[in-house]
Structure 1
Amino acid sequence: MKALFVSCTLKKSPDRSNTELLAQVVADALGDKGVEVGHVRLADLDVPPGVVTDLGAGDPWPQVHARLLDSEILVVVTPTWLGRPSSIAQRMLERMDAMLSETADDGTPVAYNRVAGVVVTGNEDGAHHVISEISGALADLGYTVPGQAWTYWNQGPGPGAEYPDTDHGHEWSARTGRLMAHNLHAVATALQARPVPPFPES
């Protein structure tokens, strides 16, 4: 089983991403279950806007798309800005929109029988809104979003310390991250054993 963590930080490598630090808790927990974990940071790829899988020469999205289809588990990793997902997270969802019309060999949408979750950090509140926006979009595409398939950390209302600069809330966020990994793996395993069949009217 494979998991792909798609980081939607606004920072390019090698700058430190606070959200990726929390996401590593989830990645480690999945790794402990034998899941092969991969990572991609979209800010490093200069993904152009669009709602198709391949925009032609110079478009790096087709390689990300291929990795999505090679993974049973997707974890979207995004900071909170002004109470909303990052602009790169929105760009990712727009490019994934093409998956609505893509089908597997048996006719099922390509996102079916895959699971997804969300990791969010920010020194402002709004994490539940961010989780809801991204989870809803992924469910629209056909991903299964298990219960409690998310974790987050925030400092609270208003500006404050960033995730690595304080121990505030870390224990809760890490435990919730391990629970997230548990639930993602359990549901992905169940879907492998009994996948959603093709819709007979399609």
Structure 2
Amino acid sequence: MQAVVLNCSLKPSTEPSNTQELADVVIGALEEDNVAVRTFRLADLNLAHGVETEMSADDEWPTVHDAILEAEILVVATPTWVGHPSSYAQQALERLNAMVGETDPKGEPVAFGKVAGVVVTGNEDGAHHVISEMAGGLIDIGFTIPGQAWTYWNRGPGPGPEFTDTDEGHDWSAKTGRTMAERLASTARALS
């Protein structure tokens, strides 16, 4: 079984990512459950804007798209910015939207039978809103979202420490992350 994680941090991989830190909890739990995980940090890729799988010759989304097609599980990990998913998370939904028109050899949409979940971090309010936006978009595209297929760490309203600056709330976020991984893997196995 395979999973793809889209890290939608605004920071390139040369900088530490709070979103990756929490996503790593989910990744670790998936790997313990014999799921191979591949991560893409969207800030590191040349991604064209639009709603098609291939937008230009130098567009790197087709590589991400192909990995998602090979996987049974998709995890979108995003920070909260002004109470919303990051711009990379929105761009991922836009690019994933092309899958609505793609079918497998049986004529079914290619996202059907795949499961998805959401990881959210941020030092401001809005985790439940971000989870709802992302899960709603993924459902529209055809992914199955199991119950409690999410985890988050949000500091609350206003500025404050980042995930890596404090231990506050980490136990709860890690517990829900491990539960998320279990729900994703068991649902993916049931669907396959």
Deviation readout 1:101-124 (Å, 9 max, x if unpaired): 000000110000000000000000
Structure-2 residue corresponding to 1:33:
33
Structure-2 residue corresponding to 1:117:
117
Q: TM-score, length-normalised on structure 2?
A: 0.99
Contact 2:124 2:157 in 1 (8 A): yes
Structure-2 residue corresponding to 1:12:
12
Deviation readout 1:69-94 (Å, 9 max, x if unpaired): 01100000100000000001111111
- SS in structure 2 at match of 1:76: strand
User: Which residues of 2 match residues 1-202 of structure 1 at below 5 A?
Assistant: 1-192=1-192
Q: TM-score, length-normalised on structure 1?
A: 0.94
Contact 2:48 2:56 in 1 (8 A): no
Displacement after TM superposition at 1:174 (Å):
0.3
How far apart are the structure 2 equivalents of 1:102 and 1:28? Answer: 31
Displacement after TM superposition at 1:46 (Å):
2.3
Displacement after TM superposition at 1:55 (Å):
1.2
- SS in structure 1 at match of 2:4: strand
Q: Percent of counterpart pairs with the same letter?
A: 59
Instruction: Tell me how large the CA RMSD over aligned residues is.
Output: 0.6
- Mean Cα deviation higher: 100-109 or 55-64: 55-64
Query: Which letter maps to 1:71?
Result: A
Give the length in aligned residue pairs: 192
- SS in structure 1 at match of 2:21: helix
How far apart are the structure 2 equivalents of 1:34 and 1:57? Answer: 35
Larger Rg computed on CA atoms? 1
Structure 2, unpaired ranges of 5+: none
Contact 2:125 2:157 in 1 (8 A): yes
- SS in structure 2 at match of 1:135: helix
Structure 1, unpaired ranges of 5+: 193-202
Name segments (4+ residues, structure 1) moved above 6 Å. Answer: none
Deviation readout 1:141-178 (Å, 9 max, x if unpaired): 11000000000001112110000110110000000000
